[in-house]
Structure 1
Amino acid sequence: MARKVSASTLRRVLNVWPPFLFAGIRVRTVSDDYRHARVELRQHWYNRNFVGTHFGGSLFAMTDPFWMIMTMQALGDGYIVWDKAAEIEFVKPGRGTVAAEFRLDDAVLEQIRAATAGGDKHLRWFETPISDAEGDTVALVRKQVYVRRKKPRDATA
């Protein structure tokens, strides 16, 4: 069952969630309708790799839960939503503050609803570029989300 939580509460909880807190990841915004989020990662001594750029695990972690949570909250309680797969491509060394933006539009939600209307599962890929302060992409993260309508409960059970 999808947890009902306000976007502002989700933002506050994620900002103290240990995998984000200890990596230096900050959730800056989550829109009230769960259609947009912005996450930043500032470079510190504790999230640098051996050559002094952003640690790849931190870059990946900053994108991890958002597509699943946003899709789950936008579709509502009648759907099962899970992360299914993920991949990351490192494009250039990340330095300084980097950011990721997530935008879930109505057309995507309608495609998911149509694909799952008959009870079938649907696998949807989302792409998220992680950009530096100059707007250059330092990494490209792809997440695959599994979505299926919940089976109706038997009224006689």
Structure 2
Amino acid sequence: MRYTAMTPARLRRLMNWWPPMLFSGIRVEHVDDEWREARVRLKLRRWNRNYVGTAFGGSLFAMTDPFFMILMMNRVGRDYIVWDRAGEIRFVTPGRTDVTAHITLSDAQVAAFRAAADAGDKHLEWFSVDVVGTDGTVVATVRKQLYIRRKERLTRR
């Protein structure tokens, strides 16, 4: 039911070499074989710190940015259009260490998202993930709003 011929392992390798991730110190550590989860780490370096020496907010957001959409696209399949619609980040505490984000989509979330699209036009839904420091402290909470719509079938006359 995959959306593309891309495998999770190949996506992980490509994302780790993609310049916006690579040069920000972002590393995709794991993408589940069933597209249920992804684990991403931001290694705190001199070049991804802000003026006061903590993790740059743009890097915190970037480390989570594409994953809800990519995971959902591959979970719901080719009969649906899935897009990022909006995103927001709430900073909780300064990031003074490496941080990780564990992005997950449960079977129940995917089923509800697909059912909402099957019931009508478009559907919008928010998903969230905590960005956590090495000591377990929540550094930021990122929310992404996904858009889904069932693709229209071409009918033959």
Same structural fold, with TM-score higher than 0.5 when normalized by the shorter chain: yes
* Partners of 2:114 and 2:39 in 1: CA distance: 25
Counting only pairs closer than 5 Å after superposition, residues 1-157 of structure 1 correspond to structure 2 as 2-156=3-157
SS of the residue corresponding to residue 60 of structure 2 reads: helix
Q: Compute the TM-score of the two structures, normalised by the length of structure 1.
A: 0.96
Distance 2:29 2:63 in 1: 12
Q: Which runs of 5+ in 1 are unaligned?
A: none
Offset at 1:120? 1.5
Q: TM-score, normalised by structure 2?
A: 0.96
Q: 1:67 & 1:41 partners in 2: Cα distance?
A: 17
Q: AA paired with 1:98?
A: V
Matched AA of 2:72:
T
State the aligned residue count. Answer: 155
- Identity among equivalent positions (%) equals 52
SS in 2 for 1:102: strand
SS of the residue 1:155 aligns to: coil
Residue aligned with 1:63, SS: coil
Instruction: List runs of 5+ in structure 2 lacking aligned partners.
Output: none
Instruction: Give the letter for the 2:145 counterpart.
Output: Q
**Cα RMSD (Å):** 0.9
One-letter amino acid of the structure 2 residue matched with residue 150 of structure 1: K
CA deviation after TM superposition for structure 1 residue 112, in Å: 1.0
SS, match of residue 84 in structure 1: strand
- Deviation of 1:4 after TM superposition, in Å, equals 2.4
Question: Counterparts of 2:79 and 2:5 in 1: how far apart (Å)?
Answer: 13
How far 1:92 moved relative to its partner? Answer: 0.4
Q: Tell me if structure 2 keeps the 8 A contact 1:119–1:150.
A: no
Greater mean alpha carbon deviation, residues 30-39 or residues 110-119: 110-119
Q: Could you tell me how far apart the structure 2 residues matched to 1:73 and 1:54 are?
A: 30
Deviation of 1:154 (Å): 2.1
Alpha-carbon separation, structure 2, partners of 1:44 and 1:155:
57
The whole-number CA distance in structure 1 between the counterparts of 2:148 and 2:5 is 18
Any conservation in 2 of the 1:38–1:99 contact (CA below 8 Å)?
yes
- CA offset at residue 85 of structure 1? 0.3
